[in-house]
């Protein structure tokens, strides 16, 4: 019998140890009978996420949140009571499921600080509600026997804080009327809602927007089948599966890492006004900033006004689209681009040659607030529909995959356009018919060139004609003048017969002989004609001329030169020789004023 108390002691001790271990083991579930008290946590089954109470680094206020469990630097991804912090310090608050089946945060006196406020949760629809922290980081309220996500009564992913993680949906649940959008912390130490938000807009074409207060701060551009128009980073790749759903029940964007060991967050930062994408590197035990939005000056909404094109690297950064000009050149030059640009040529709807489209490539598509869309139309059908509506200002493909499909048409001014290197789209803007304008312009240039060449040829021909006429007239005048002078001079020449010549040369005496050449002997006899001395041979076929310049020149009857200091006299002698010396002098009048030497 003495051994019985000892055995009872051993059994009680082991039961105590077992119950302690069971109570301290992590759990992922809250039930109506098992609330979560301050100081305790929920841990997802795979150990990725943890839910519990926390204080921001320098704050005394206490919050309920979810964070990454295996990251040493506490990174909170969701906060329940961000606008209703716990201010008491007795750590008596707890999270539980109330009698209505709602998840609530209560203080020590059962005051409700925060409630999930699920309209679908009730003890009638779910007699056994539980709260569970999933491996995705999603905190859900569901029936104990229902694990299908479609049957969830409430989930934290429908009410995000400032952080977007893998598996979350950003956008609308149209059946429940839930808008999932991110809202930045007021500052790094205050989880309450700031005024810097991000979400999807509803319309003919949903877009991802960022707002500062009620003003649009950034716009992603419409989804084009692969990505948002100006966000090439948010596209399908070997690491990430991207999803964009747009139907009558839901409109949302989501991404899921193919490798579940990868950890990332997209955080709205109120201080920097940036949406920042961080990736966790276990090797360095640190977060690395992968990309920020806005990423440059052109990412800011409507930087360049209507029809202004923002181009990073250009100066100024705002450029009017080709075919447009600043509406106010003075303001534009002062870098005030709010008024944007207007067409350089007047556009007229439906007027032939004044109504057409010009293609612009590599662009972020304009704001789609005032648009109409159809997912089944071809690009040509889209163009025709736009042409038939004078309010239509541009059109483009909705989906750029393959050869492109679908139709978006814009009404009113086109705003928030920028160049997106290697990722932009084609946009067809309505303006003066560029094709006809180009053909007309080419014809006009060709006509101008042809006319100019024709005018130059006519001028050249005219100049050549009149120049030739002038030269011929001058030559004719000179010839006539020389002929008249010679005839006049010839009329004054005295007559010489052969007897006088024989006498003048002393019967061709050898004493007067100067020499002999190919034309025969030459005799000395001087004849003075206005300072010109003529010496001729007896067959009268050669004359040697010497004038006051003392430059001798032999004149052959058929080849008298025109360049001699006595050129004017040379012409007279040429005429004389042509008409006298080449023929018998005896029968010709030769009226020379002569001085004869004896």
Confidence (pLDDT) at 184: 98
pLDDT tens digits, one per residue of 297-346 = 999 999 999 999 999 988 899 999 999 999 999 999 999 999 999 999 88
CATH architecture of residue range(s) 18-159: Orthogonal Prism (2.90)
Mean pLDDT of 223-245: 80
pLDDT tens digits, one per residue of 575-587 = 655 544 443 334 3
Q: How far is CA 125 from CA 115, 119, 149, 178, 458, in A?
A: 18, 11, 16, 20, 100
For the chain, the structural domain boundaries read: 18-159, 163-295, 305-432, 498-587
Mean pLDDT of 44-70: 95
The CATH class given to the 305-432 domain equals alpha beta
Q: Taking CA 399 as the corner, what is the angle to CA 394 and CA 403, rounded to the nearest 5 degrees?
A: 100
Same fold, 18-159 and 305-432: no
**Full-model pTM:** 0.68
pLDDT tens digits, one per residue of 306-317 = 999 999 988 899
> Measured between alpha carbons, how far is 181 from 210 in angstroms, rounded to an integer?
10
Long-range contacts (CB closer than 8 Å, 24 or more residues apart) made by 150-156? 153/101, 153/118, 153/120, 153/121, 153/125, 153/126, 153/129, 154/103, 154/116, 154/118, 154/120, 154/121, 156/66, 156/78, 156/80
Confidence (pLDDT) at 469: 73
Q: Is the pLDDT of residue 553 over 50?
A: no
> Measured between alpha carbons, how far is 548 from 31 in angstroms, rounded to an integer?
144
Q: Is the pLDDT of residue 14 over 60?
A: no
Confidence (pLDDT) at 582: 40
- The 3-state secondary structure of 399-435, one letter per residue: ECCCCCECEEEEECCCCCEEECCCCCEEEEEEECCHH
pLDDT tens digits, one per residue of 514-541 = 677 665 666 665 444 444 444 444 444 3
pLDDT tens digits, one per residue of 187-212 = 999 999 999 999 999 888 899 999 99
Confidence (pLDDT) at 236: 59
Decide: 564 and 551 in contact? Cβ < 8 Å. yes
């Amino acid at each position: 019998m003495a051994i019985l108390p000892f055995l009872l002691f051993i059994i009680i001790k082991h039961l105590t140890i077992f119950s302690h271990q069971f109570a301290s083991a992590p759990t992922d579930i809250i039930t109506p009978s098992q609330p979560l008290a301050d100081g305790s946590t929920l841990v997802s089954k795979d150990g990725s996420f943890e839910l519990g109470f926390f204080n921001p680094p320098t704050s005394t206020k206490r919050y309920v949140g979810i964070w990454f469990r295996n990251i040493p630097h506490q990174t909170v991804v969701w906060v329940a009571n961000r606008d209703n912090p716990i201010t008491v310090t007795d750590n008596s608050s707890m999270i539980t499921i109330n009698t209505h089946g709602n998840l609530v945060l209560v203080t020590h006196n059962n005051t409700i600080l925060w409630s999930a406020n699920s309209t679908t949760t009730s003890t009638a629809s779910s007699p056994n509600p539980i709260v569970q922290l999933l491996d995705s980081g999603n905190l859900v309220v569901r029936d104990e026997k229902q694990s299908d996500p479609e049957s969830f009564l409430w989930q934290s992913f429908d009410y995000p804080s400032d952080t977007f993680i893998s598996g979350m949906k950003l956008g609308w649940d149209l059946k429940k009327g839930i808008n999932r959008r991110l809202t930045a912390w007021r500052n790094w130490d205050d989880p309450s809602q700031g005024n810097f938000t991000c979400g999807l807009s509803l319309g003919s074409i949903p877009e991802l927007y960022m707002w500062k207060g009620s003003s649009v701060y950034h716009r992603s551009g419409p989804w084009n089948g692969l990505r948002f128009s100006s966000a090439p980073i948010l596209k399908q790749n070997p690491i990430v599966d991207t999803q964009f759903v747009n139907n009558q029940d839901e409109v949302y964007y989501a991404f899921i890492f193919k490798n579940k060991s990868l950890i990332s967050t997209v955080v709205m930062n109120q201080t920097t006004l940036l949406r920042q994408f961080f990736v966790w590197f276990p090797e360095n035990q640190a977060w690395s900033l992968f990309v920020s939005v806005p990423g440059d000056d052109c990412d800011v909404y409507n930087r360049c006004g209507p029809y202004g094109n923002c181009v990073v690297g250009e100066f100024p950064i705002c450029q009017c689209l080709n075919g447009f000009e600043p509406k106010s050149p003075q303001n534009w030059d002062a870098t005030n681009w709010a008024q944007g640009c207007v067409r350089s040529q007047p556009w007229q709807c439906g007027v032939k040659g004044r109504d057409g489209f010009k293609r612009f490539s590599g662009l972020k598509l304009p704001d789609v607030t005032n648009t109409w869309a159809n997912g089944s139309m071809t690009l040509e059908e889209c163009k025709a529909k736009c042409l038939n509506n004078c309010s239509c200002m541009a059109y483009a493909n909705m989906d750029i995959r393959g050869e492109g499909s679908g139709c978006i048409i814009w009404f009113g001014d086109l705003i928030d356009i920028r160049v997106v290197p290697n990722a932009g789209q084609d946009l067809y803007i309505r303006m003066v018919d560029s094709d006809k304008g180009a053909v007309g312009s080419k014809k006009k240039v060709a006509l101008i060139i042809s006319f100019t060449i024709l005018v130059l040829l006519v001028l050249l021909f005219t100049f050549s004609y009149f120049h030739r006429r002038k030269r011929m007239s001058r030559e004719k005048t000179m010839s006539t003048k020389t002929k008249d002078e010679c005839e006049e001079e010839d009329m004054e020449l005295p007559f010489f017969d052969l007897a006088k010549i024989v006498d003048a040369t002393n019967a061709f005496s050898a004493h007067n002989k100067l020499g002999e050449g190919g034309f025969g002997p030459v005799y000395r006899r001087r004849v003075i004609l206005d300072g010109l001395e003529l010496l001729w041979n007896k067959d009268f076929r050669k004359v040697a001329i010497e004038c006051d310049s003392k430059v001798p020149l032999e004149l052959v009857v058929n080849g008298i030169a025109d360049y001699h200091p006595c050129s004017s006299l040379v012409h007279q002698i040429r005429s004389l020789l042509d008409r006298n010396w080449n023929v018998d002098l005896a029968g010709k009048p030769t009226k020379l004023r002569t001085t004869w030497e004896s």
